[in-house]
Every structure is written in structure tokens, then in C-alpha cells.
Amino acid sequence: MTKPKVDSIDDLKKDIAGTKGFLKVERDVDPDLVEADWQCLQEHGYVMMKNLITDAEVDAVKAALTPLFDKLGRNEFEGVRTQRIYSTLAKTRAVDWLATHPRILALLDKMFMPNYLLSQLLGINILPGESAQYIHPDDGFYPVPRPRAPLGAASIFALDDFTQENGATQLIPKSHLWGERKPTKDDKVISAIMPKGSAIFYGGTFWHGGGANTTDKPRMALTAQYCEPWLRQQENLMMAIPKDIVRELDPQLQSLIGYSILPPYIGMVNAVHPLRLLE
Ligand SMILES: O=C(O)CCC(=O)C(=O)O
Ligand SMILES: [Fe+2]
């Protein structure tokens, strides 16, 4: 193989190792639908995908997640009456397909550089009596001034009907465009009311938060957060998920966890591609 030339900064953005490079995946999703989702996202800051998965699929996911919910949150942000599942991929295979849902990944393909990462994958169960979570943008911990393009993005799959009363995610439409400002009482907050099996997706600059649950039943969701491939993930998924499990995963998920590189070097291990560690 001829060695690639490197004599400009742009050459360094190429896959100069030339071994694994970028994973190319054909997405099984209508391009017109992706375009409509994308436009909605640009305009409103979020997109709602109603009835994305069937009731039977919701039931299967709930059955797998329910026994994994145990501890309550340790602070108001996690929610002291909210249960969360962390390191989810180490505990169940039931939600792999939601973390790689083609309609969501098609948007991420447009939003981020190739080989973007999964930042965290959580089950969230808001229990009766929980108060509303502080409304926040998800990528605010990356110290890069706004306004700017999102550095992260998230999906939230409703595993129960999301209602005004049970803690449907609260949203501030168009807040993805804000600079360094915070919400005021004049900003209109809406609730992501949607039937179970639906999802919302938004960029990391979009202000939102879990709602209060004033009913006597839990509100369950699965949320996947993603980030640019040049940023650190919130969950250290390379350490959280044992290699024996990683070997069994869909290559897309392996890449999302961090068994991928942003050419030429970000993510390497002892100068080789991290996938080689699985051989
Ligand atoms: O549970 C929800 O509806 C949103 C949770 C959330 O935004 C978060 O934990 O970052
Ligand atoms: Fe959030």
C-alpha cells in the first residue's frame, strides 16, 4: 500500500492509518423523513417522533429494564424520587436497537463528525411525587461559549405515555438558538406529551428537563446521549462494558462506545485502532 502523503493540515483529518477508518452504514430510513426531522430540529430545537416503536416493543423493553431500576438519585438533578440505570449496555441487550435507531442515527450523521460517540445511555424512572428537574441544556458542561452548534444530542424514548401530570419532559422551543442566557418566567415551557413508544430528539444546546410526577404511577423512559467524536463521553463506556460483551455488539454500537477513532489519532490504543483489542 502506498503511504498517504501528509503535507497539509487537511491531510491530517484523513484516515492516514487506513485500517478501520469510518464505518459506513446504509440507514434504513426514508430520506424525506430525515430531511423533515432535520428541518424541524433546526427550527424548533427538537423533533417529536410519535409511535416510533410498537406497544409490544415497549412492553419488551420495559420488562427488561424494570428489574434493573434500584437506587434513587443522589441529588435533585438526578431526582431523589427518580431511579436511573447507568452502564445500561453492560446489563441488558434489550435496548441496543434503540441506541442505534436508524431515524435517530440519520440525524446524528448530519449533526456530528463521523464516528460520533454515545455519551450515556440511561433508563430513567420518575416515581410518584417527584418534582420537576432543573431545566438545562445537556452539553452545558463542555466549556465552549454559546451560541454555537450542539456538541451533544439526546433521544428520549417514552416507555409510558408521557402526560402533563406524570412528568413528560419539559421543553423550551427555540432555546437551542440562545447565547449565554438562562430561562426567565417569560419563556414558554411546553411538555412533550406523547404516547408510549414515541421519542423526542434534540441537540445539546436545547433547554429541557424532566417534569414533575403528580400521579400515583411511575413514568419510564430510555435516553441516549451522543457527542462529537473529539469530546470526552460522560459515561466511561470503554471501562463500563466488559470486552466479552463488546465483542457481541453490533459494530455500530462498538463504534459508538468508543471502539472507533477520529482519524488520525483520537481514540487510539498503543498506536493501534481500539477494535484490535477485541481480536
Ligand atoms: O427524564 C426526562 O424527561 C429528562 C431527563 C434529562 O433531561 C436529564 O437527565 O438530562
Ligand atoms: Fe437533560
Are the C-beta atoms of 111 and 34 separated by less than 8 Å? no
Distance 69 CA to ligand 1 centre (A): 16
* Mean per-residue pLDDT of the chain: 94
Q: Whose CA is nearest to atom 4 of ligand 1?
A: 210
Banded pLDDT at 25 (limits 50, 70, 90):
confident
Banded pLDDT at 116 (limits 50, 70, 90):
very high
Counting ligand 1 atoms within 8 A of each CB, the residue from 198, 208, 222 with the most, and so the one to mutate, is 208
DSSP letter for 185, please: T
Compute the average pLDDT of residues 118-129: 98
Q: Measured from the CB, is residue 221 less than 6 Å from ligand 1?
A: yes
Q: Whose CA is nearest to atom 8 of ligand 1?
A: 209
Question: Does pLDDT of 67 surpass 60?
Answer: yes
**pLDDT at residue 121, as a whole number:** 98
Are the C-beta atoms of 168 and 193 separated by less than 8 Å? yes
Residue 205: count of CB within 10 angstroms of its CB: 23
Residue with cell 453492560: 90
Residue 242 within a domain:
yes
In total, how many domains does the chain have?
1
Q: Give the three-state DSSP class for 212.
A: coil
Domain that holds residue 121: 25-278
Residue 238 within a domain:
yes
Compute the average pLDDT of residues 9-22: 70
Residue 17 within a domain:
no
What is the rounded CA–CA span in Å between residue 240 and residue 268?
Answer: 18
Select from 141, 158, 258 the least CA-distant residue to 204.
141
Compute the average pLDDT of residues 56-75: 94
Residue 259 within a domain:
yes
Q: Measured from the CB, is residue 192 less than 6 Å from ligand 1?
A: no
Residue 4 within a domain:
no
The predicted-structure confidence for 139-154, as pLDDT tens digits, reads as follows 999 999 999 999 999 9
Distance 208 CA to ligand 2 centre (A): 6
Residue 46 within a domain:
yes
Residue 12 within a domain:
no
Q: Measured from the CB, is residue 84 less than 6 Å from ligand 1?
A: no
Q: Measured from the CB, is residue 274 less than 6 Å from ligand 1?
A: no
Q: Tell me whether strands 199-203 and 117-126 are parallel, antiparallel or unpaired.
A: unpaired
Banded pLDDT at 13 (limits 50, 70, 90):
confident
Residue 152 within a domain:
yes
Domain with residue 255: its CATH number is 2.60.120.620
**pLDDT at residue 17, as a whole number:** 64
Q: Whose CA is nearest to atom 1 of ligand 1?
A: 210
